[in-house]
Amino acid sequence: MLPIQRRRLRGAAWVAIAASFVTAIFAGGRVFGPVLWFGALMLGAAAVFLALNLLPARRGTGRR
């Protein structure tokens, strides 16, 4: 992946995180919205962590 593509994807990810925070505040209010957003963010991080550590690695990708 080219560096410009990485920068664009990283920027898009930050925009998506900010947009999800705003929608969580609208959905849950100023008090509970950020709490629910943070909980959903941690749940997603836990799912990615478990997937990367427990799923078998693909063979033949050429990475070391």
What is the C-alpha separation between 22 and 35, in angstroms, rounded? 12
Query: Residue ranges of the domains in the chain?
Result: 1-54
pLDDT of residue 62: 58
Among 51, 28, 57, 58, CA closest to 40: 28
pLDDT of residue 47: 96
Residues of the chain scoring pLDDT < 50: none
Whether the CB-CB separation of 38 and 50 falls below 8 Å is answered with no
Q: Note the pLDDT tens digit of each residue in 22-31.
A: 999 999 999 9
Q: Which helix (H) or strand (E) holds 60?
A: none
pLDDT of residue 4: 94
Could you tell me how far CA 40 lies from the centroid of its own chain? 10
pTM above 0.75, yes or no: no
